[in-house]
Structure 1
Amino acid sequence: MKKLDAYEEELLTAYEKGALQSTSPSKVDLSKFKAAASATFIKDRRINIRLSTPDLMDIQTRALEEGIPYQTFIASVLHKYVTGRLAEKASSLAPRSTGRNEKRRSG
Structure 2
Amino acid sequence: MMKKLDTYEEDILTAFEKGELKSISPSKENLAKFKAAASATFTKDKRINIRLSSPDLMDIQARALEEGIPYQTFIASVLHKYASGRLIEKPSSLISRPKRRTGQHG
TM range (shorter): 0.7 to 0.9
User: RMSD in angstroms over aligned alpha carbons?
Assistant: 3.1
Aligned length: 99
Matching residue's letter, 1:27: K
Aligned match of 2:54: 53
Q: What TM-score comes out, normalization by structure 1 length? A: 0.72
After TM superposition, where is structure 1 displaced by more than 3 Å over at least 4 residues in a row?
3-7, 9-17, 99-107
Q: What TM-score comes out, normalization by structure 2 length? A: 0.72
- SS state at 2:51 partner: coil
CA distance in 2, matches of 1:83, 1:101: 28
Unmatched tracts of structure 1, length 5 or more: none
CA distance in 1, matches of 2:103, 2:16: 50
CA distance in 1, matches of 2:45, 2:97: 34
Instruction: Determine what percentage of the aligned residue pairs are the same residue.
Output: 69
- Higher relative CO (Cα under 8 Å, sequence separation at least 6) belongs to 1
Unmatched tracts of structure 2, length 5 or more: none
Matching residue's letter, 2:65: L
CA distance in 1, matches of 2:62, 2:47: 23
